[in-house]
Amino acid sequence: MNCSMNLSRMRAGYAMAWVCAALLLAVAENASARTLAEVKALGAIFMCASPDALPYASNKPETPGFQIEIAGAIAAGLGVSLNVEWIVARRRRNLVNCDMLLDSINDPEVNEGRALLSRPYQKSGVALGLRRDAEAISDFRQLKQGQKVGVMINSFASMVLGKAGKTTSPYAFQSDMVEDLQKGELYGAAVSAATLSYYIFRHPDSGLRFVNAFDSEPELTWEVAVGLRKSDPALVDAVNAILERLIADGTLTRIYAKYGVEHRLR
């Protein structure tokens, strides 16, 4: 599956650079969907995740990632256990049967025919990382000619910056982009907000700065929701009620903070 063929998919690729959300849903496409009653009867709900994609998810119990922790809180609210289906290349598709996928873009076109969506619970998107000696700015338009910014190949960020006449350098991997930013080989980097936040959190002496510089660009900022694969409205309603509680009591904010990520609803 090509995850960067159209505009919506380019957004999905930056939202979760570690994996294509559409692919994770397609992996379980042929399996039977579970309703709320079936989840309750089984006593468990299954989610798809990557085993090595911090801060999103990992198979390390000490640092499971915010997706795993949020899914665990949802499962607890449903009164069932959480089972994680780790998506790796060697797994055969017919062995995977996921009920939900965290951080699904809140866009019916992306999820049409594959999943129902919960209420949005986080504002995500692309952020601008700036190196230690960079000037303070609040918007990408303030970048000056010659201040080179790393971008993902064929991403919408590269298009936006290019149209604005900014100097860009294409990358295949965000990790390489952030590494070059740290070395000072880039002036800035257009990186997924969670990835950049987590890097700065783990490297407080890096001097890198985080700027929500693309908030004015609708295609570079979006809401995420829980994707419930071909589920029933009862499960969606139950998950929505749990998310409302987790937002109101600060649980989501605390989970994100453990990984240095800001919880944004607007």
pLDDT score recorded for residue 31? 53
Secondary structure letter of residue 145 according to DSSP: T
Report which residue type is found at 90: R
- Return mean pLDDT, the chain: 87
pLDDT at 49 > cutoff 70: yes
pLDDT score recorded for residue 23: 44
d(CA 12, CA 237): 25
Secondary structure of residue 60 in the 3-state scheme: coil
Does residue 25 carry a pLDDT above 90?
Answer: no
CATH class (in words) of the domain with range 7-122+223-257: alpha beta
Would you place residue 113 in the very low, low, confident or very high pLDDT band (cuts 50, 70, 90)? confident
Look-up: residue for tokens 């499960």?
235
Enumerate residues 6+ apart whose C-beta is below 8 A from 35. Answer: 231, 232, 234, 235
The domain 125-219 belongs to what CATH superfamily?
Periplasmic binding protein-like II (3.40.190.10)
Residues of the chain with CATH 3.40.190.10: 7-122+223-257, 125-219
Residue 223, strand partner residues: 123
Per-residue model confidence as pLDDT tens digits over 160-215? 999 999 999 999 999 999 999 999 999 999 999 999 999 999 999 999 999 999 99
Please say if the pLDDT value at position 21 is more than 70.
no
Neighbouring CB atoms inside 10 A of 33's CB total 17
Q: Are 28 and 48 in contact (CB under 8 A)?
A: yes
How far is residue 255's CA from residue 68's CA, in Å, rounded to a whole number? 10
Given the structure tokens 């944004």, which residue do they identify?
264
